[in-house]
Amino acid sequence: MLSRVADSLYWLARYIERAENNARILDVNLQVTLDDESAGDSDGKLEWEPILASLEDQKLFHSLYAVTNAETVCEFVTFAKENPNSIRSCVAGARENARTVREYISSEMWERINSLYLWLNSATARQLFASSAIDFFRHVVDYSHQFHGTTNATLTHGEGWNFLQIGKYLERADSTSRILDLKYHILLPSGEKVGGNVDTVQWQAVLKSCSAFEAYRKLHIGPVAPWSVAEFIILHDSFPRSIRFCAEGLDASLHRISGSPRTHFATDAERLSGKLCSDLNYATIADIFKMGLHQYLDAIQLRLIEISSALLKEYCEWLDPSDESEQTQSQSQS
């Protein structure tokens, strides 16, 4: 397939996944702050600053807004056009990429993305956001699920589908690690103890952000313990949002593209992803906490970036990022 098409499919999937994950994070944080009895006392800064930290968007945010609270953070992460990672920007990016590969993807896939885009820019979406933000975010997540379902059901599971999977799993592994890391940034209110009520609520929120609470509950009855949450989210072998599961999916798709067996590597991207899989397969949660959860997650994020660069170098090396001026030149046709 064309390198440009592979590149667009990869980014298309990443943008959709990013939009979904932003919606998840906001949804859960809103719910947590509703549960938090002390929330009424503060101005919201405490609850919402960590979101920005985990998305690494603090600088841009503070240049746009004077105060940090539910309203400004939700607006920034959902609609702000200035924020290239806002849900709206991500969906616009996904749609732009989908447009360039319109002949490659199925019409059903296109219609999912296009109608999400049209909806996000409609007054209906704004109204829902204002009246019930939680429903709004669920709606975004639903769209993303519909897109993945439609993709699986209508697109040939060939090379292009594999590029979509790679984009999806890379982005998902990255955001799962960020959601978990979110807990690192959240400060417990003074007087609260590690393992206390607030702490438990926060760990539960982390699970819910990954749709992992119900799955986790099936394994662990009793109090929500930090180490078991981290273990579940990082190392579970079959929960579809765990980092290990994403790394496996990513590695499998890479090998399907090159045709080399999973036990070997044919490209640098495969070598890196194979190594990541193997580390995750053999790691214990004790090792991870020994290294420090935050440091460990940071390292994972860096490794994902390396895999991404290696992938693009291998398959899309023709693309010259400085060629973008072409997009602004137009001509008329009769």
Site residues for other proteins per CB under 8 A: 1-6, 96, 99-100, 102-103, 107, 110-111, 114-115, 118, 159, 257, 315-316, 318-320, 323, 325-334
Count Cβ atoms within 10 A of the Cβ of residue 334 and give its class: 0-12 exposed, 13-18 middle, 19 or more buried: exposed
**Minimum distance from residue 334 beta carbon to other proteins (Å):** 3
Residue 166 in contact with residue 307, Cβ under 8 Å?
A: no
Backbone angles phi, psi at 66, to 5 degrees: -85, -35
Q: Closest CB to other proteins among 118 and 188?
A: 118
**The 3-state secondary structure of 291-320, one letter per residue:** HCHHHHHHHHHHHHHHHHHHHHHHHCCCCC
**Minimum distance from residue 186 beta carbon to other proteins (Å):** 41
Distance CA 2, CA 178 (A): 32
Structure tokens at 295: 């440091």
**Minimum distance from residue 117 beta carbon to other proteins (Å):** 9
Q: Closest CB to other proteins among 47 and 314?
A: 314
Q: Closest CB to other proteins among 131 and 332?
A: 332
Q: Closest CB to other proteins among 37 and 103?
A: 103
Sign of the alpha-carbon dihedral angle for 230, 235, 240, 241: positive
Residue with tokens 């040939």: 156
**Minimum distance from residue 311 beta carbon to other proteins (Å):** 10
Q: Closest CB to other proteins among 99 and 262?
A: 99
| 256-293 as b/e: b if 16+ CB within 10 A | bbbeeeeeebebebbebbbbbbeebeebebeebeeeeb
- 195 backbone φψ class: left, alpha, beta (φ>0; ψ -120 to 50): left
**Minimum distance from residue 95 beta carbon to other proteins (Å):** 8
Count Cβ atoms within 10 A of the Cβ of residue 15 and give its class: 0-12 exposed, 13-18 middle, 19 or more buried: buried
**Minimum distance from residue 319 beta carbon to other proteins (Å):** 7
Q: Closest CB to other proteins among 140 and 210?
A: 140
**Minimum distance from residue 3 beta carbon to other proteins (Å):** 5
Sign of the alpha-carbon dihedral angle for 279, 285, 287, 289: positive
Q: Closest CB to other proteins among 115 and 278?
A: 115
**Minimum distance from residue 83 beta carbon to other proteins (Å):** 21
Q: Closest CB to other proteins among 21 and 144?
A: 144
Sign of the alpha-carbon dihedral angle for 292, 295, 298, 302: negative
